[in-house]
Amino acid sequence: MIPELGLIFLIISTVSALILSFIPLYASYSKNSYLFSYVKPLTALMTVSISTSILCLLISFLVDDFSVAYVANHSNTQLATLYKVAAVWGSHEGSMLFWVVSIAIWGCLIVFSSRYQDPLFVGRMIAILAFVIAGFNLFMLFTSNPFARLLPNFPIEGRDLNPILQDIGLIFHPPMLFLGYVGLTITFAAAIAALLGGKFTQQHASYLRPWVLMAWVFLTGGNAFGSWWAYNELGWGGWWFWDPVENASFIPWLVATALLHSVVLSQHRSSFKVTTLLLCLLAFSLSLLGTFLVRSGIVQSVHAFASDPTRGMSILSLLGVFVCGALTLFALKGNLIKSKSDFSLISRDSFILLGNIVLVVAAISVLLGTFYPLLFELLNLGTLSVGAPYFNSMFVPLTFVAVLLMGAAPLIKWQKQSLKPLKPLLYLLATAVAIGIIVALQTRDGFNPWVFIGATAAAWVILTLGYLVFSLRQQGTAIIAKKVAMMIAHLGVAVTIIGATAVSNFESQELLRMGPGQGKEVAGYTFVYEDTVDVETNSYTAIQANIRVMDSDENDIGYITPQRQTFKTNAMETTQAGIMRNLVRDLYVSSGQQLSETEYLVRISHKPLACWIWIGGLMMMFGGSIAAFSGLYSLRRTQAASQTVQHRVNTDKALQAKELA
């Protein structure tokens, strides 16, 4: 009964979304204020019904209703309750439902909390959101029904959740990534609303900026937690492999970063409005393209959700409708959007513009590297592999240029900058280059250009931020406080660059045959394989290696316990790495196949500054969150002030009319 209720509420939300996608648009063009009164109740109905639908799916997981195909394929009576909850979004059907629910809730918050002065803009915006929700709902109803039954013959026990997904990463990574996609959907709807209205004002940009920031924060978290999850769970010892599915979430992040800086220019300088709208459309389109990549089965990846060509074609159809329609509207209406262009080549405006161009080019280079092998095979030209060498050779230099612009832009004036104040920047750049050369010479093989690029970029960001704080001290702490969010986020970029450069170029690794009593020194640490023990839990049995670790003075610093796990429900085997962490390094040990009665294949890695990668990601999220909430607070204050002024005007008019009467 519960699954049928979930399906009924899914249908109700689809019908209400279809109606809602029409009424605000018709009301805005017919100037019918009465029709606008239906927007809030329809939005509430759509949101409550789709939220109730996912609640029904959650209940089906909690009560182990294996007559529901989705539950039977991704749960088990022995599965921990926390993972039963996470399994709701752990695979294709549930993740799509979670995505739609998030869009509906976010849209509801906009409609019921917005006191924006342009109700037509908000009405058109919610209409576009409803149209997107209706499209996704129809996709679920016809190709990916999360409530599909296995009646009359259903299993008494489920197949269990994929062992790789039984990790805390499942609780954080997919929701954050989907919320980032939801934020891009909001910006897409806002861009379409602006194009339909034929104008995009500074007030529109102010309204849009917090949503762009929140989308960027969630996308940053989704990518960071995704790499952290792979690092911990897969046992490969890496943190980023340029996997097609990893790229599917990284490409929208690059474009969202460009969008974030563009919307700031549109808000403060009333410039780059057309660029901002185009980036809104592009970021959402790339998130849909990534969804197609993950769910169509055209790529093989441990991260992929599904491999169903029918679903892939359905998503491709949605992609065609949304993207082609949006770009056509942009071609027809984009010329109506007017922007200022009163800035010189040496100005903050031009540096931000150049940085955005570099970010978009970087996104395109990753996109080409991801899809070129697929196109090559599709044209029957054979098979082709594009790996890390291509991505590194294309992406790293582009990132270096973007970071140089990122460090310089906050120190340059808007519109026009004279050349004399730029001398300190040249000194800072020379210092950063010197630091990069010194660090690059520390590698085992002599000068390493990749280390030079990473060290120079990180040093440049840190030096320019320090100089910015020094310069702003003369203007008072209030000015510094306004820049705090930006400085934290930019510092987070530098920290991530330091961690990525150190791990990628200074890692020490050994692949060994080890058994009880055997030891090996790696990077100044001694690893002694003491014994092998059997471990049993409710979910799996494991063969665990107990490896004692000593420092260079032969002092014990702890144990690392990698495991090879075999899950009871499906006999799947996974590798669980053992990691000893601190701020300076990670000692990473994974246990491989058994080579003899007592010996196993063991991979030992020393990874310097590994945790800095994710500390930097958290700093970027923190800085973005501060900016988003301060933007919302400023927007509310502006709205409140505008309402106060309007109330006074209305009161004065009423008094004048009364006196005349």
Residue 401: give the domain boundaries. 167-416
Please indicate, yes or no, whether residues 84 and 157 belong to a single structural domain of this protein: yes
Does residue 51 surpass a pLDDT of 80?
Answer: yes
Spell out the alpha helix ranges (H) of 418-523.
423-440, 449-472, 477-506
Please indicate, yes or no, whether residues 125 and 201 belong to a single structural domain of this protein: no
Q: Tokens 């590994």 appear where?
A: 610
* pLDDT reported for residue 27: 85
Please indicate, yes or no, whether residues 273 and 332 belong to a single structural domain of this protein: yes
Residue 291 inside a domain? The answer is yes
* pLDDT reported for residue 421: 63
Please indicate, yes or no, whether residues 175 and 138 belong to a single structural domain of this protein: no
Does residue 156 surpass a pLDDT of 50?
Answer: yes
CB count, 10 Å around CB of 641? 10
Residue with more model confidence, 306 or 361:
361
Residue 198 inside a domain? The answer is yes
Residue 462 inside a domain? The answer is no
Residue 139 inside a domain? The answer is yes
Q: Which amino acid is at 363?
A: A
Residue 449 inside a domain? The answer is no
Residue with more model confidence, 489 or 239:
489
Burial pattern 71-95, b for ≥16 Cβ within 10 A else e, equals bbbbbbebbeeebbebbbbbbbbbb
For residue 282, what are its two tokens?
């592009």
The answer, yes or no, to whether the previous bond of 3 is cis (omega within 30 of 0) is no
Please indicate, yes or no, whether residues 153 and 175 belong to a single structural domain of this protein: no
Residue with more model confidence, 191 or 302:
191
Whether the model clears a pTM of 0.85, i.e. scores above it, the answer is: yes
Bridge partners (DSSP) listed for residue 604: 510, 589
| Averaged pLDDT score across all residues of the chain | 87
Please indicate, yes or no, whether residues 34 and 59 belong to a single structural domain of this protein: yes
- pLDDT winner (highest mean) among 22-26, 377-381, 610-614: 610-614
Does residue 650 surpass a pLDDT of 60?
Answer: no
* pLDDT tens digits, one per residue of 487-524: 999 999 999 999 999 999 999 999 999 999 999 999 89
- Rounded CA gap, 77 and 5, in Å? 23
Please indicate, yes or no, whether residues 100 and 209 belong to a single structural domain of this protein: no
Residue 623 inside a domain? The answer is no
Does residue 359 surpass a pLDDT of 50?
Answer: yes
Residue 524 inside a domain? The answer is yes
- Number of domains composing the chain: 3
Segment 150-164 mean pLDDT: 85
Segment 207-228 mean pLDDT: 92
* 468 close to 411: Cβ distance less than 8 angstroms: yes
CA atoms within 13 A on the CB side of 627: 29
For residue 308, the SS3 value is coil
- Among 114, 129, 161, where does a domain finish? 161
* pLDDT tens digits, one per residue of 569-586: 778 888 889 999 999 999
Does residue 161 surpass a pLDDT of 60?
Answer: yes
Diameter of the chain by CA atoms? 104
Please indicate, yes or no, whether residues 392 and 243 belong to a single structural domain of this protein: yes
Does residue 645 surpass a pLDDT of 50?
Answer: no
- Among 570, 587, 612, where does a domain finish? 612
For residue 34, the SS3 value is helix
Segment 383-403 mean pLDDT: 87
Residue 444 inside a domain? The answer is no
Please indicate, yes or no, whether residues 132 and 203 belong to a single structural domain of this protein: no
Does residue 70 surpass a pLDDT of 90?
Answer: yes
* pLDDT reported for residue 554: 87
For residue 58, what are its two tokens?
């959650």
For residue 521, what are its two tokens?
């020194």
- Among 416, 447, 463, where does a domain finish? 416
CA dihedral 165→166→169→172, nearest 10 degrees, is: 90
Confidence grade of residue 297 (pLDDT, cut at 50, 70, 90): low
What percent of the chain clears pLDDT 70, i.e. is strictly above it?
Answer: 89
Does residue 253 surpass a pLDDT of 90?
Answer: yes
Please indicate, yes or no, whether residues 206 and 105 belong to a single structural domain of this protein: no
Does residue 138 surpass a pLDDT of 80?
Answer: yes
What percent of the chain clears pLDDT 90, i.e. is strictly above it?
Answer: 53
Please indicate, yes or no, whether residues 130 and 179 belong to a single structural domain of this protein: no
Please indicate, yes or no, whether residues 84 and 185 belong to a single structural domain of this protein: no
